[in-house]
Chain A
């Protein structure tokens, strides 16, 4: 599924909650709980995403040309947000990730989490994911 299609799917899922803020946050946290566990040894300072109010760790690997992310956070809401980002980006090529545009947060009423105080953190998460994509792309170009 394309980056755009996955975001459409997320928007459709949240639309079932009819804008109920509490239900949306609960659902977001539930999605976070389902995120596959990150290896404890990966929760290093090096893998920590700077700029988040809550702590976030992020790593990535390439399999057959596609990037797969793994992440964790010490807060449930942030973990939910990052689980959505992983759902959108994981399994795509570096090129797709680099050109992918994230539009879902405001469309599911989550802009308030990523607006104002958390905005830097959320922007930092996206930036970090794109940095991984860029690094993998550069590496594959060098190898080619």
Chain B
């Protein structure tokens, strides 16, 4: 792809925008401004082409096929696994399991690891910044196994209280599961330290990387996390596909999550033996097309340069934060110095829904509500926020449109 170096991040945003057909349309008579990237990002042509190429060129079921199309599909499918391993710096590609997304990844770990390893009275530590998908699966298993959930508190600035975390760790702690970055506030959590402390207490760790995958460097070996997961659609890839990384030794000790084809070695009615990892966890025909296209998303990020992308997004975040903070009655929620490009805010006396709907009339897409983090909203004393989240294809000009739109809302409603 074209990526002519320019001042600052080196991101040639106009060139990048050409790769995203969806961005070039009018919404309610205005150019679309897509600021809902933390919910899902748009997809570059490489990803769309990969989907098309698979279905028009080599659609076949993978792994046991002996014909050419099956070989091609299998090769492409397994190439994504190798790319994912390299993207996360996993020790081997056997540590990469394809799932539908982070929600399924966490359910898989909670179900398989949790059910086999947890005992009555054990403790699971989560944080007050978690998405419901990193809360509810643990509640289900905790109830079943009579375990307790402990929660790392959140400070007023939207950061985790690490001192309190240290106080929560004890010999009963079995699992610590937190996000790498908060979807509601953008806070980047000090996961390396959280993991180290968890290990010292003898617990395993899961990092929800949904909001990190497209923005932060990820090295699972350096982090030393036991599990890491991401969703393809939040990192320029297709919906319905994601990755669960797990340390091989731990994965090998875990029982299967679902039964079916692919995950078995031998089946008899008396006894069935399991396939090796990762296949043990990939029952049934997987989401072949989307897995294959996910490689193009990894390549898009690596090719563009994650660091350059992050710099560009930080610039937008800083600019937008400064400009928005000037608006009367507007308060930014989540003011950590370390944030991915998520900007959550409230305007005194105006409901987030009204703000979101008004912005939509100008073609600006933001998200409003509790962002699937109701405990966090309760902690912040809010019903919800307006959230603008930036991706590599967003521009300063678009940010200006957001500000104009907000000025208009405030001017009318206050």
B-binding segment of A7-15, A62-70, A72-80, A98-106: A72-80
Instruction: Give the contacts of A5-61 with B (CB-CB under 8 A).
Output: 21-22, 24-26, 29, 53-54
**Taking chain B's interface residues, is the majority helix, strand, or loop, or is none over half, making it mixed?**
helix
Q: A16 to B177, alpha carbons, bound, how many Å?
A: 56
**How far does the Cβ of B405 sit from chain A's closest Cβ, in whole Å?**
9
**How far does the Cβ of B287 sit from chain A's closest Cβ, in whole Å?**
26
**Taking chain A's interface residues, is the majority helix, strand, or loop, or is none over half, making it mixed?**
helix
Known: A54-B351, A75-B353, A76-B351. A29 touches B413 (CB 8 A): yes
B22-39 interface bits toward A, Cβ cutoff 8 Å, 1 = contact, 0 = none? 000000110000000000
Instruction: Say whether B351 contacts A113, CB under 8 Å.
Output: no
Known: A26-B412, A29-B412, A29-B413. A21 touches B29 (CB 8 A): yes
**B82 contacts chain A at the CB level, 8 A cutoff:** no
Instruction: Say whether A25 contacts B351, CB under 8 Å.
Output: no
Q: A26 to B408, alpha carbons, bound, how many Å?
A: 10
Known: A22-B361, A26-B412, A29-B412. A77 touches B29 (CB 8 A): no
Instruction: List the B side residues contacting A53 at CB < 8 Å.
Output: 353, 369
Instruction: Say whether B351 contacts A74, CB under 8 Å.
Output: yes
Instruction: List the B side residues contacting A24 at CB < 8 Å.
Output: 361
Instruction: List the B side residues contacting A75 at CB < 8 Å.
Output: 351, 353-354
Instruction: Say whether A25 contacts B358, CB under 8 Å.
Output: yes
**How far does the Cβ of B27 sit from chain A's closest Cβ, in whole Å?**
9
Known: A29-B413, A74-B351, A75-B351. A113 touches B361 (CB 8 A): no
Known: A21-B28, A21-B29, A75-B351. A113 touches B412 (CB 8 A): no
Q: A53 to B368, alpha carbons, bound, how many Å?
A: 11
Nearest-neighbor residue (CB-CB) of A26 within chain B? B412
**B362 contacts chain A at the CB level, 8 A cutoff:** yes
Q: A128 to B361, alpha carbons, bound, how many Å?
A: 29
Instruction: Say whether B353 contacts A77, CB under 8 Å.
Output: yes
**B239 contacts chain A at the CB level, 8 A cutoff:** no
Q: A29 to B29, alpha carbons, bound, how many Å?
A: 21
**How far does the Cβ of A125 sit from chain B's closest Cβ, in whole Å?**
15
Nearest-neighbor residue (CB-CB) of B28 within chain A? A21
**How far does the Cβ of B30 sit from chain A's closest Cβ, in whole Å?**
9
Instruction: List the B side residues contacting A77 at CB < 8 Å.
Output: 353-354, 357
Instruction: Say whether B361 contacts A21, CB under 8 Å.
Output: yes
Instruction: Say whether A113 contacts B358, CB under 8 Å.
Output: no
Instruction: Give the contacts of B1-60 with A (CB-CB under 8 A).
Output: 28-29
Q: A113 to B357, alpha carbons, bound, how many Å?
A: 8
Instruction: List the B side residues contacting A74 at CB < 8 Å.
Output: 351
Q: A53 to B412, alpha carbons, bound, how many Å?
A: 22
Q: A24 to B351, alpha carbons, bound, how many Å?
A: 18
Known: A21-B28, A21-B29, A76-B413. A29 touches B362 (CB 8 A): no
**How far does the Cβ of B362 sit from chain A's closest Cβ, in whole Å?**
6
Which residue of B351, B358, B369 is within 8 Å of A22 (Cβ)? B358
Instruction: List the B side residues contacting A78 at CB < 8 Å.
Output: 353
Q: A29 to B355, alpha carbons, bound, how many Å?
A: 12
Instruction: List the A side residues contacting B351 at CB < 8 Å.
Output: 54, 74-76
**How far does the Cβ of A7 sit from chain B's closest Cβ, in whole Å?**
22
**How far does the Cβ of B166 sit from chain A's closest Cβ, in whole Å?**
40
**How far does the Cβ of B323 sit from chain A's closest Cβ, in whole Å?**
21
Instruction: Say whether B353 contacts A54, CB under 8 Å.
Output: yes
Instruction: List the B side residues contacting A54 at CB < 8 Å.
Output: 351, 353
Instruction: List the A side residues contacting B357 at CB < 8 Å.
Output: 25, 77, 113
Nearest-neighbor residue (CB-CB) of A24 within chain B? B361
What are the 6 A-B residue pairs with the smallest beta carbon separation, nearest first? A21-B361, A22-B361, A75-B351, A21-B28, A76-B354, A75-B353
B residues apposed to A, CB below 8 Å: 28-29, 350-351, 353-354, 357-358, 361-362, 369, 408, 412-413
Jot down 12 A-B pairs with beta carbons below 8 A, ordered by A.
Answer: A21-B29, A21-B361, A22-B28, A22-B358, A22-B408, A24-B361, A25-B357, A29-B412, A53-B369, A54-B351, A77-B353, A77-B354
A residues apposed to B, CB below 8 Å: 21-22, 24-26, 29, 53-54, 74-78, 113
Further 9 A-B residue pairs, CB within 8 A, beyond A21-B29, A53-B369, A75-B354: A22-B358, A22-B362, A25-B361, A29-B413, A54-B351, A54-B353, A75-B351, A76-B413, A77-B353
